[in-house]
C-alpha cells in the first residue's frame, strides 16, 4: 500500500514538473555544433551519454510537438532531423547551471538549431526564424521566463566571401529576436567557431569575438577538440562547451533578471 501511494506521489510530482509555468527558458539556436554531433561517426550515434549530460527531472525540453518532456540526449533529435544528432552542449549547460544555482528551479530547453544553416537562413521572417520564435512563445506560456539565447552558428558562412556581410546580418538577427520577443535586454551567449571549416573562418571569428551589443557574451571554442570530420565537436568538447556557456550565463548575475 505504501509503495502504491509513493508511486502516485511520484507521478503527480513529474506531471507538475512538466506543466509548472515557473520555467527558466533557454533557446538553443544555430547549426550542427549546437544541435550536437558528439559521438556521431559515419552517421551513427554511439549512444554514450556522459555523466554531465544525464537526465534530471528539473531539466525539460520542448518537443517538436510543442509539449514538455524530461530532457534526454540527443535533445535535438526531432528538431534537426536532417542528420543524426548526438551530444550537444545543452544538457551539460543545464546540469552545470543547476549544480551552481540549485535554487534556479526548472530549466526549460527549447532546441531550435538546424545543421548547415547560414546566417541568412535565420533572418527575420525565414522558416527557421519563425519556427524558433513560435517554439519560444509556446515555451513561455504559463509564466515561463526567458533567460537567454544560446547561439552557435557560422561554419557555413566561412565558405565564401559573403562572410563580409556576416556582422550586419548577425547584429540584425540578435536585434530582431529581442524585438520580436519583447525582451530588449535578453542575454545572448554566442560561440566563436572552433573549427577551421572554410577560408573565411577568421573573418567570422573576428565578428563573433568583437561583437559590441549590450548583454551579448562570446565564449571562444577555439582549441576544443573536433571529431574525425574536422568540423563537429567531440563529445568531451560539447560537454566542456556547455559548461563554458553556463559560466557565461551565471556571470550575468542579476542582469539576466532584467528582461
Convert the pLDDT of each residue in 11-33 to its tens digit. 334 444 444 558 999 999 999 99
Which CATH number do you get for residue 118? 3.40.50.1110
Residue 39 CB partners (closer than 8 Å, separation 6+): 45, 46, 47, 48, 86, 87, 235
β-pairing, 40-41 vs 59-62, is unpaired
- Asked if pLDDT for residue 209 goes beyond 90, the answer is yes
pLDDT tens digits, residue range 76-92? 999 999 899 999 999 99
| Domain annotation covers residue 241 | yes
| Domain annotation covers residue 1 | no
pLDDT value of residue 16: 41
- Asked if pLDDT for residue 173 goes beyond 90, the answer is yes
Q: Which of 32, 35, 58, 92 is catalytic?
A: 32
- Mean pLDDT confidence for 215-229: 95
Residue 112: name the closest of 126, 125, 94, 131 by CA: 131
Domain that holds residue 207: 25-257
Q: Does 232 qualify as catalytic in the annotation?
A: yes
The span from the CA of 74 to the CA of 57, in Å, is 16
Q: Does 32 qualify as catalytic in the annotation?
A: yes
| Domain annotation covers residue 3 | no
Backbone angles phi, psi at 136, to 5 degrees: -65, -40
The structural domain count of the chain equals 1
| Domain annotation covers residue 172 | yes
pLDDT value of residue 10: 37
| Domain annotation covers residue 236 | yes
pLDDT band with cut points at 50, 70 and 90 for residue 143: confident
| Domain annotation covers residue 20 | no
| Domain annotation covers residue 19 | no
- Asked if pLDDT for residue 237 goes beyond 70, the answer is yes
pLDDT value of residue 9: 36
Q: Does 143 qualify as catalytic in the annotation?
A: no
Q: Which of 76, 157, 195, 232 is catalytic?
A: 232
| Domain annotation covers residue 14 | no
Amino acid at each position: 500500500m505504501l509503495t502504491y501511494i509513493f508511486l502516485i506521489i511520484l507521478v503527480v510530482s513529474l506531471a507538475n514538473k512538466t506543466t509548472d509555468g515557473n520555467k527558466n527558458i533557454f533557446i538553443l539556436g544555430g547549426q550542427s555544433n549546437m544541435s550536437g554531433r558528439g559521438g556521431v561517426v559515419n552517421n551513427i550515434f554511439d549512444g554514450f551519454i556522459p555523466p554531465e549530460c544525464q537526465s534530471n527531472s528539473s531539466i525539460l525540453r520542448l518537443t517538436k510537438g510543442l509539449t514538455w518532456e524530461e530532457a534526454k540526449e540527443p535533445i535535438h533529435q526531432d528538431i534537426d532531423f536532417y542528420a543524426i544528432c548526438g551530444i550537444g552542449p545543452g544538457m551539460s549547460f543545464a546540469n552545470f547551471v543547476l549544480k551552481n544555482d540549485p535554487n534556479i528551479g526548472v530549466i526549460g530547453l527549447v532546441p531550435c538549431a538546424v545543421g548547415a544553416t547560414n546566417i541568412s537562413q535565420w533572418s527575420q521572417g525565414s522558416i527557421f526564424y519563425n519556427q524558433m520564435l513560435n517554439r519560444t512563445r509556446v515555451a513561455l506560456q504559463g509564466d515561463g521566463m526567458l533567460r537567454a539565447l544560446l547561439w552557435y552558428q557560422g561554419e557555413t558562412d566561412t565558405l565564401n566571401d559573403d562572410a563580409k556581410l556576416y556582422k550586419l546580418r548577425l547584429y540584425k538577427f540578435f536585434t530582431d529576436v529581442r524585438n520580436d520577443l519583447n525582451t530588449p535586454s535578453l542575454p545572448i551567449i554566442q560561440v566563436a567557431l572552433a573549427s577551421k571549416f572554410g577560408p573565411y573562418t577568421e573573418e567570422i571569428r573576428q565578428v563573433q569575438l568583437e561583437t559590441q551589443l549590450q548583454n551579448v557574451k562570446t565564449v571562444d571554442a577555439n582549441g576544443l577538440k573536433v571529431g574525425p570530420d574536422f568540423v563537429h565537436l567531440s563529445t568531451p568538447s560539447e560537454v566542456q562547451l556547455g559548461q563554458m556557456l553556463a559560466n557565461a550565463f551565471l556571470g550575468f548575475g542579476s542582469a539576466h533578471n532584467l528582461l
